[in-house]
Amino acid sequence: MNWLLLIIGGLFETGFAISLGKAQQTTGKPMAFWLSSFAICVAISMYLLFKAMGGDKAIPVGTAYAVWGAIGAIGTVVAGIVLFHEPVTFWRMFFLSSLVLSVIGLQLVSS
């Protein structure tokens, strides 16, 4: 259950990064909407990270934070490509792939 909370928390981290990107592109009420979305996503993301690090099957803080951050980073790169038309280059995909492999490795060696 804690891993599921951590994954969902990482997705909300992606949400707050996307919200900031969208807020940069808008003004007025749309900007207020995206900044509100940012605040909500940050709160949910941090709460789920907190919950994943506690309880009977707590994920160690170092592993939890690294995985949470990586999920957010991976999601943000993919969202940047899809939503903000950021470039897809060999080196970006290479390092993104190495990040994915590192997250899988951390999950495998965590008790």
pLDDT at 55: 84
Q: How far is CA 71 from the centre of its chain?
A: 4
Question: What pLDDT, on the 0 to 100 scale, is given for residue 109?
Answer: 83
Residues of the chain short of pLDDT 50, as ranges, are none
Token pair 């939890």 in the structure block, residue: 64
What was the pLDDT predicted at 107?
A: 75
Backbone angles phi, psi at 84, to 5 degrees: -110, 5
pLDDT at 111: 61
Q: What is the pTM of this model?
A: 0.85
Quote the pLDDT of residue 36. 98
